[in-house]
Structure 1
């Protein structure tokens, strides 16, 4: 698994909504800058930090390697050629995006000597996709907020038996439907905080999934950690 830094000040919302990274193949002069060529080095399961406005606003996991793709509609008309490379990713927004200023003193010594995403002043270098050394990636992971549990909704609650009188148990069942709460905590313990297949250990990206479908399970099975797998999006 590799770590990447993508600077998306102009393109984040479009790429976030579409679930992808995209870079042109060449400039108008027929050159391929290193920060576009790096698209071909991304592999499924790699982690990507989205840098926008001086903050890491999201962490994504690569679902595919790069493949040929025309420029997505509505993105960068007149700025780049239409032919490019795309990587499909799954984004996870951070509830409290950390600022780079908070960690720049620790981060800069871990950056590569060439082609680093930050300059000596601690602000972003011009470019798109930068490779991060493992230690730099790990440092950023330490700053990632992993408390992004989805809120329970009335629509989810409709699937729970109304006979459950205890409010605490009812909430536990509601959260188990979306892989959160007691069920997720139990799976994190059983699987040691790692994806059961890939070994990915980034909690914010891991999904608590039922083996026997939630809708087909009784209330005990819905909360049973041995009826679940901790899985990465890829």
Structure 2
């Protein structure tokens, strides 16, 4: 992980953040790696020519706005990117990469390596995948010892970050003088699936598409494009941007473990185990024939599959 510009904020905050694409819209394997990283995997922090920390991924990444603590850093980065929760363990003393690069070079990958042939950080490299041998070599050379012996601090998880981001968005709405009092109030109520948003969703959706439960008191009005990421009050209140889901299905949908095709067929992420689905009382075969979504719902579903679903 080469994050010289933002390492202080990311290590203190317990995360990594990157744009989704390079400037100009091109995909980057170094950015895509945040989406690939899984809980329990380890990351070495490299910044300013030194090995600084080792981290452990604590949750899958998710779409998040660029952290406010970055301030003016990365002015050319898009505002929306991937946030990966990481529990960091900081070294007592940073290790210059130059002191270990000769032994490390033979262990690095030929493609998407974090360092070039002379030991400098590869241009545009952010999160790079390295072998277990390379990882262990860096840990031992930088004085961390064995990975299994590192006592990582308590981790922030998805819910911790989401609550913080939604609280900031709610404060912004509460102080936005361009909104009417009614629009402001309804936009905030929509955060919890209440008020006008729920009524709008209920005028389109009649039951949980997975469990087929129809009793209103058992259903949550869930945003398809997350409330915190909506670009306007219209999106936050649009009934086409919502589904009625039972609480456990709402949790899986919000976290990206399930999504839907445009024809209504449910999609399950490979990152949720079959045994866990069974314990939740869910199965991959539908209880009822899929019901196709309307044209107005499809743009929101496209966003969910691309930016929320853990494919």
Query: Normalising TM by the smaller chain, what interval?
Result: 0.5 to 0.7
Larger Rg: 2
> Residues 117 and 125 of structure 1 are in contact (CA less than 8 Å); yes or no, is this contact kept in structure 2?
yes
Question: Which residue in the other structure is 2:112 paired with?
Answer: 115
Q: CA deviation at 1:122?
A: 1.0
TM-score, structure 1 normalization: 0.60
Question: Which residue in the other structure is 2:150 paired with?
Answer: 204
Cα distance in structure 1, aligned partners of 2:106 and 2:33:
22
Q: CA deviation at 1:70?
A: 1.0
Runs ≥4 residues deviating over 6 A: none
Q: Which has the higher contact order (CA 8 A, sep 6+)?
A: 1
> Residues 141 and 202 of structure 1 are in contact (CA less than 8 Å); yes or no, is this contact kept in structure 2?
no
1:28–1:98 CA distance, 2 compared to 1 (3 A): closer
Question: Which residue in the other structure is 1:144 paired with?
Answer: 142
More helix by share: 2
Q: Deviation digits for residues 167-186 of structure 1, max 9, x if unmatched?
A: xxxxxxxxxxxxxxxxxxxx
Cα distance in structure 1, aligned partners of 2:97 and 2:74:
30
More strand by share: 1
> Residues 19 and 31 of structure 2 are in contact (CA less than 8 Å); yes or no, is this contact kept in structure 1?
yes
TM-score, structure 2 normalization: 0.46
RMSD: 1.8
Q: CA deviation at 1:16?
A: 1.2
Q: CA deviation at 1:84?
A: 0.6
2:85 to 88, 91, 96: 88
State the SS of the aligned residue for 1:94. Answer: strand
2:21 to 13, 22, 26: 26
> Residues 89 and 152 of structure 2 are in contact (CA less than 8 Å); yes or no, is this contact kept in structure 1?
no
Aligned length: 150
2:132 to 134, 139, 142: 134
